[in-house]
Amino acid sequence: MKIFDYGAQAIAQSGILQNSYLERLSAGSMPLEEFRKSQEQFYFAVLYFSQPMAALAARVPDPYLRVKILENLLEEHGEFNAQAFHCNTFKSFLESVGTSVNGVKALPPVHAFNSALSSACALEHYCVGLACMGVIEQSFATISAIIGNAVVKNGWIRAESLVHYQLHAKIDERHAEDFYSIIEKNLESTRAAGRDTQEIEEALERGTSLGLYIFERLYRDLIFESKVDGILARSKADTVGVGYA
Ligand SMILES: [Fe+2]
């Protein structure tokens, strides 16, 4: 089975696409202010994403395979055009829904997501990192389409003004394929050399499970419950940690 098909099965089984965040947003029951707060936090995942990816690229021993991650890294950095850096296209998206990250700090849910991703990419078998990044990209293609449709349907953005999510709905399945293809080539060459592929297969399974777990968990943890009078309640995340100085 192609790893992309395995990833699609794992995504379907994980329930991430029916996650309470996406369901509330699609059903029109998430207030705009709550959506803004959750997406401000999501910015810190977008900003960080290319760093574990760079660490992972450094660990792919075959340069012909490593370039697949370098291409993705270059896209993350807007092909050297600062305006098109993905962190900047996401800032434009935030502006289009009437908010920004000025003065906003990353809260523990996104910090935890970023740290788990770093650990998978920098410290584990590199196929764990590849599977983890791959399945996040693969699921984000559909999640981007769900969020993009919902913000237009909710009347928060006009379809022609939608940025960031529109792009990722298109490109992230290809990014997933690129990560997966490195694992597939690794499996092929290991088989051709007459060696056991069990370690790689286990790394694929663990990376896929971890990626889906941390991504689904991030969305659930970014739900900011609102009071009936429209005044935002403190999120659970806001209650973790205290200010210093
Ligand atoms: Fe991507």
- Report whether 152 contacts 159 (CB < 8 A): yes
Helix 50-59 to helix 126-153 angle (10° resolution) is 150
What are the C-alpha distances in Å from 60 to residues 64, 65, 68, 69, 187? 9, 7, 10, 9, 14
Q: Is the domain covering 3-221 a CATH 1.20.910.10 domain?
A: yes
Interval between CA 227 and ligand 1 midpoint (Å): 35
- Report whether 168 contacts 175 (CB < 8 A): no
Give the pLDDT of residue 33. Answer: 93
Interval between CA 194 and ligand 1 midpoint (Å): 34
Cα four-point dihedral sign 25, 29, 33, 37 = negative
pLDDT tens column, 196-219: 999 999 999 999 999 999 999 999
Give the pLDDT of residue 62. Answer: 95
Question: Is 24 a residue whose pLDDT tops 70?
Answer: yes
Q: Exposure of 19 by Cβ count < 10 A (0-12 exposed, 13-18 middle, 19+ buried)?
A: buried
Give the pLDDT of residue 230. Answer: 43
**What average pLDDT does this structure show over 71-95?**
95
- Report whether 67 contacts 179 (CB < 8 A): no
Given the structure tokens 């523990």, which residue do they identify? 108
How far from each other are the two terminal CA atoms of the chain, in whole angstroms? Answer: 55
Interval between CA 120 and ligand 1 midpoint (Å): 17
Domain boundaries, the chain: 3-221
**Residue 89: in which H helix or E strand, if any?**
helix 86-96
Interval between CA 156 and ligand 1 midpoint (Å): 24
Give the pLDDT of residue 218. Answer: 95
Question: Is 231 a residue whose pLDDT tops 80?
Answer: no
pTM over cut 0.85 = yes
Structure tokens at 74: 């270059």
Question: Is 166 a residue whose pLDDT tops 90?
Answer: no
Question: Is 233 a residue whose pLDDT tops 60?
Answer: no
Give the pLDDT of residue 161. Answer: 85
Please provide residue 197's backbone torsions phi and psi, each rounded to the nearest 5 degrees: -95, 5
Interval between CA 137 and ligand 1 midpoint (Å): 5
**What average pLDDT does this structure show over 110-115?**
97
Give the pLDDT of residue 164. Answer: 83
Question: Is 129 a residue whose pLDDT tops 80?
Answer: yes
Interval between CA 229 and ligand 1 midpoint (Å): 38
DSSP 3-state assignment of 226? Answer: strand
Interval between CA 80 and ligand 1 midpoint (Å): 16
- Give the percent of the chain with pLDDT over 70: 91
Interval between CA 181 and ligand 1 midpoint (Å): 15
pLDDT category at 226 given cuts 50, 70, 90 is: very low
Give the pLDDT of residue 165. Answer: 87
Interval between CA 109 and ligand 1 midpoint (Å): 21
Give the pLDDT of residue 35. Answer: 94
Interval between CA 30 and ligand 1 midpoint (Å): 26
Rounded distance between C-alpha atoms, residue 139 and residue 194, angstroms: 34
Give the pLDDT of residue 26. Answer: 96
